[in-house]
Amino acid sequence: MTSHNSLKQRVKSGATIVSGAFLLLSLVVSLSAFALFNDGQVDRVLFFPGARTARVSGELRSLPALGDTRDDLRLLLNEVILGPAEIQHGRLVPRGTQVRSLIVNDGIAFVNFNEVILFEAPDQQLALEEVFDVLRRTIRYNFRSIERVVFTVNGQLPSQPFFQISPPPEVEPVETP
């Protein structure tokens, strides 16, 4: 009876070894395939309103990984400006919108758009703050290291009083006697 149990144990341990070897082999094959076929692309989710409703949903895009958060973020924003690829989504920002400047520092992204984002309406009507909320959601979803996003238009905070730096007044020289 002991030889029968011993045979069962050997078969069981052999099956465990074969299973473990198979798992290890599949891990090696998976990692090798990832290393060979990963062409520097990263999946990003862009959020757009619906074509007929303001309900926001995501759209998956495979974008090149540029290796720098600022460059990757600029590419993401340019993709949002290009608009949705799926027919059920509507544009978020007008076609002529441009990112004029972009700074990422200490978990804060500063994004400066041109004035087109204010004056040319896309197909659907979202208020500017709603557009910024969707953009903020897109950025924070794809870049977990960015904690805060500040949007400006031509260097000005929207819905804030106009701010302009004036040159100092001309001071006439004082003559000394």
d(CA 59, CA 48): 8
Dihedral through CA 76, CA 81, CA 85, CA 86, nearest 10? Answer: 100
Buried b / exposed e along 116-134 (16+ C-beta atoms within 10 A): ebeeeebebebeeeebbeb
Predicted structure pTM score: 0.69
Per-residue CA distances from 61 to 12, 24, 55, 117, 168 (Å): 47, 32, 19, 23, 49
Residues 98-107 pLDDT 10s: 999 999 999 9
Residues 132-176 pLDDT 10s: 999 999 999 999 999 999 999 999 988 766 656 667 777 777 777
d(CA 172, CA 145): 52
Domain boundaries, the chain: 41-153
